[in-house]
Every structure is written in C-alpha cells, then in structure tokens.
Amino acid sequence: MSKFCYYKGLYKVKVLTKSEGYWIIEALEDLQDYMDYKKVTVKLGEKSIVLPTDLHKKKTPLPQMPEQVNERRL
C-alpha cells in the first residue's frame, strides 16, 4: 500500500492496510493520540489502527482556540 498521509492533519504516517471501518498505519514520526480518554504516545515505526476520517492528504494547521474566536467577535 505505502500511501503517505497526515494523521489528524499533523503527523506524517504511512497507510499499510485499508479495510471498511479502520485503517492500519505506521508512524513516520512520534505522535500523540488518545485511547480510552488517556493520552498515548505512538513511537516512530509503531503501528496503530485508526479511522479513515482521521487521515488527510495534506498537512493542516491546528484549529484556533475558542477563546481567540470569542475575542475577535468583541
């Protein structure tokens, strides 16, 4: 497969296997994730199972914090 994507728009990963519900990825850099409401670090080269909706073709910036948006409205 070896398709490169960005997990949650931030971390570069390689897609290993695709299925209907979940995809298996390999981390190409250390990344932070949440599992069962706990923060987990996925190391370089480790595999993880993710939803296809969490993968993006391009790197995207982080969304703005809600406080910044409220300040603009004032």
Q: Residue 22: what are its φ and ψ, rounded to 5°?
A: -135, 155
**24 and 17 in contact (C-beta within 8 Å)?**
yes
Query: What is the average pLDDT across 46-63?
Result: 84
pLDDT band at 69 (very low <50, low <70, confident <90, very high): low
More confident position, 42 or 62: 42
pLDDT at 8 (0 to 100): 87
**Tokens encoding 62:** 């982080």
The pTM score is 0.71
